[in-house]
Chain A
Amino acid sequence: AQTVTQSQPEMSVQEAETVTLSCTYDTSESNYYLFWYKQPPSRQMILVIRQEAYKQQNATENRFSVNFQKAAKSFSLKISDSQLGDTAMYFCAFIDLITQGGSEKLVFGKGTKLTVNP
């Protein structure tokens, strides 16, 4: 079974500094996608960034970037120039593209609670 592990339940960072959230996953598939989602206190899950496994180039989205290490099955999120609005739960998620007639499933980690301090 596919699993996603986020080893940091909580983290904090000072405003304007950089923080890295870790994520590892386990799969025997070669074709899959990875995501980071953000869930602020408003509860809505918002897509932060998406990475395709067959692309070696790390995805970036403004202040958010990933370090994708396929062989190590690692997918960390780096937030640069942290802002107060970045305070939220961050979830790493993985979907493998099943070709045997099953439905594709998005599997989530337990999340990391990030607090940005002024």
Chain B
Amino acid sequence: ETGVTQTPRHLVMGMTNKKSLKCEQHLGHNAMYWYKQSAKKPLELMFVYNFKEQTENNSVPSRFSPECPNSSHLFLHLHTLQPEDSALYLCASSQDPSIGSPLHFGNGTRLTVT
């Protein structure tokens, strides 16, 4: 049990589909994150929510739309994706980023865009 649960584990979607990734944390943390992990590249921070407020949008294309209904749940809504968006999408949470609290990660969703 990681404390951070992501679903689905794998997702294959066409470029015209709409899908959502879900993340849930049971750790009582205040901040949640979406990262994109592509081969041969560093992890890319996409979005940060702190106390349910979006505090970071790291120049992410609008075809990715985050939603944080409460401090335990985080979604990433996907629509009209491109093949280059295929990657591992990691969700993470932390207690308090302002004091360097470590991130706790989920197992990720492996996304393939066909």
- Interface with A: B17-25, B36-44, B75-83, which one? B36-44
B71 at the interface (CB under 8 A from A): no
Assuming A108-B43, A110-B40, is B98 touching A97 (CB within 8 A)? yes
Known: A43-B107, A44-B105. A104 touches B45 (CB 8 A): no
Shortest CB–CB separation between residue A57 and chain B, in angstroms? 16
Query: Could you tell me which residues of chain A, from 20 to 72, have a CB within 8 Å of some CB in chain B?
Result: 32-33, 35, 37, 42-47, 50, 52
Tell which of B55, B100, B108 touches A50, judged by Cβ atoms closer than 8 Å: B100
Contacts A42-B107, A43-B107, A44-B108 known; A109 to B42 CB distance under 8 Å? yes
Does A91 contact B43, Cβ atoms closer than 8 Å?
yes
Q: In the complex, what residue of chain B is closest to A98 when comparing beta carbons?
A: B98
Interface size on B, residues (CB 8 A): 26
CB-contact partner of A108 in B42, B48, B100, B106, under 8 A: B42
Is there contact, CB below 8 Å, between B42 and A33? no
The A-B contact count (CB < 8 A) is 57
| Chain A contacts for B90, CB-based, 8 A | 45
Task: Give A44 to B2 CA distance when docked, in angstroms.
Answer: 9
- Smallest CB–CB gap between B90 and chain A, Å? 7
Name the CB-closest residue of A to B58: A105
On chain B, the residues within 8 Å of A110 by CB distance are 40-42
Give Cα distance in the complex from A103 to B56, angstroms. Answer: 7
* Residues of chain A contacted by B103 (CB below 8 angstroms): 45, 47, 106
Verify B107–A97 contact, CB threshold 8 A: no
Q: Is A88 an interface residue (CB 8 A)?
A: no
Q: Are A105 and B45 in contact (CB under 8 A)?
A: yes
Bound-state CA distance A109–B44 (Å) is 10
Query: Beta-carbon contacts of B91-114 to A below 8 Å, as 1s and 0s?
Result: 010000111101111111010000
Complex contacts, B107 vs chain A, CB 8 Å: 42-44
* B contact residues vs A (CB 8 Å cutoff): 2, 33, 40-43, 45, 48, 50, 55-56, 88, 90, 92, 97-100, 102-108, 110
A50-B102, A102-B56, A106-B45 given; 10 more Cβ-contact pairs under 8 Å? A44-B107, A44-B108, A45-B103, A102-B55, A103-B50, A103-B55, A104-B97, A106-B33, A109-B42, A110-B40
